[in-house]
């Protein structure tokens, strides 16, 4: 596997591959790779001739400096996992390579980036949009792969790609879970053994919401779910919302939308966990 630290090397390598008629699949990551990431590479390998990755902990999408500082970084292990996954090339830049000048780009996604994550993490999705667009311009992939776990992020990236008419297909891949239901996340390694036992309660409650869909009003179900999670002394729900799966607007009634998703962010100790589940 080729590992490049500069944009120029990366573009040169991929230009040569593209000149031979190869299709390019791309998985952008922030490292600390786990089975959830590796499932994206499996999908990319099936669809493309050359599979590429990036590892870059993007500082401008963190609105909490402590979260950025504590974000797990395991570069040697990541490179080994990428090689085993059949990745042909990894782009691993430093911050100066990606942002030689101060970032001034501003995106407006309307309602999409104002609710849920956008409400509690102001500026987060602008940082995501800036880095993803820049990576797309560097890699110029035919397809890019994202997990459904970061559901709102996926909708933001789909919208940006469509509105800017970027020539890349966005492929959404299922959330990978541990045997007990906990959504795989790089942040899970920060959970204490005691917290790790409690964490699957989030997915259990989301699954119960799906079972109870249409049996109660949306508000009643949201309130019930928040109460169930906050019953755990260690859990603190930041938000839990049932929204339209495309617009992320909260419907007033179950019949107001063709597809809905429940999204949540929950604090467990010092770790913030997010998860979601398509209801229908």
**Domain architecture of the chain: domains with CATH:** 2-173 (3.40.50.620), 186-278 (3.30.1300.10)
Q: How far apart are CA 92 and CA 42, in angstroms?
A: 20
CB distance 4 to 54 below 8 Å: no
Query: Who contacts 212 (Cβ-Cβ below 8 Å, separation ≥6)?
Result: 221, 224
Beta bridge partners of 240: 264
Sign of CA dihedral 267, 145, 62, 247: negative
pLDDT at 152: 98
Each of the 280 residues of the chain gets a pLDDT tens digit; together they read 999 999 999 999 999 999 999 999 999 999 999 999 999 999 999 999 999 999 999 999 998 889 999 999 999 999 999 999 999 999 999 999 999 999 999 999 999 999 999 999 999 999 999 999 999 999 999 999 999 999 999 999 999 999 999 999 999 999 999 999 999 999 999 999 999 999 999 999 999 999 999 999 999 999 999 999 999 999 999 999 999 999 999 999 999 999 999 999 999 999 999 999 999 9
Among candidate residues 37, 124, 227, 267, the one labeled active-site is 37
CB distance 60 to 131 below 8 Å: yes
pLDDT at 216: 98
Q: How far apart are CA 47 and CA 66, in angstroms?
A: 38
CB distance 238 to 231 below 8 Å: no
37 an active-site residue? yes
pLDDT at 173: 98
Residue whose entry in the numeric block shows the structure tokens 């395991």: 74
Strand pairing report for 2-4 and 89-91: parallel
Q: Residue 279 is encoded by which pair of tokens?
A: 């209801």
Which DSSP category does 274 fall into?
E
Q: Which long-range contacts (CB under 8 A, 24 or more apart) does 160-164 make?
A: 160/107, 160/109, 160/129, 160/132, 160/133, 161/136, 164/133
Torsional class of 21: left (φ above 0), alpha (ψ -120 to 50), beta (otherwise)? left
- pTM for the model stands at 0.96
Element (H, E) at 89: strand 89-91
Q: Residue 59 is encoded by which pair of tokens?
A: 């500082």
Q: How far apart are CA 258 and CA 256, in angstroms?
A: 7
Q: What are phi and psi of 12, to 5 degrees?
A: -65, -45
Residue whose entry in the numeric block shows the structure tokens 């970032």: 103
Element (H, E) at 29: strand 24-29
């Amino acid at each position: 596997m080729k590992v490049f630290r500069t944009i120029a090397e990366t573009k040169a390598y991929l230009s040569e591959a593209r000149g031979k008629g190869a299709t390019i699949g791309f998985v952008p990551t922030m490292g600390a790779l786990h089975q959830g990431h590796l499932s994206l590479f499996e999908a990319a390998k099936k669809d493309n001739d050359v599979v590429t990755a990036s590892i870059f902990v993007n500082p401008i999408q963190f609105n909490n400096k402590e979260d950025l500082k504590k974000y797990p970084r395991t570069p040697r292990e990541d490179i080994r996992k990428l090689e085993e996954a059949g990745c042909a090339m990894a782009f691993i830049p430093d911050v100066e390579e990606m942002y030689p000048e101060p970032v001034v780009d501003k995106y407006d996604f309307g309602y999409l980036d104002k609710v849920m994550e956008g409400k509690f993490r102001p500026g987060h999705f602008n940082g995501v949009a800036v880095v993803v667009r820049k990576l797309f311009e560097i890699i110029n992939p035919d397809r890019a792969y994202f997990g459904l776990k970061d559901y709102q992020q996926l909708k933001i990236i789909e919208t940006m790609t469509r509105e800017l008419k970027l020539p890349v297909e966005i492929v959404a891949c299922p959330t990978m879970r541990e045997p007990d239901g906990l959504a795989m996340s790089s942040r899970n390694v920060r959970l204490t053994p005691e917290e790790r036992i409690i964490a699957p309660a989030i997915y259990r409650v989301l699954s119960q919401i799906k079972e109870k869909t249409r049996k109660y009003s949306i508000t009643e179900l949201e309130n019930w779910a928040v109460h169930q999670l906050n019953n755990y002394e260690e859990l603190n729900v930041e938000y839990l919302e049932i929204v339209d799966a495309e617009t992320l607007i909260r419907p007033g009634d179950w019949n107001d939308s063709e597809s809905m998703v429940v999204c949540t962010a929950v604090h467990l100790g010092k770790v913030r966990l997010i998860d979601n589940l398509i209801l229908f």
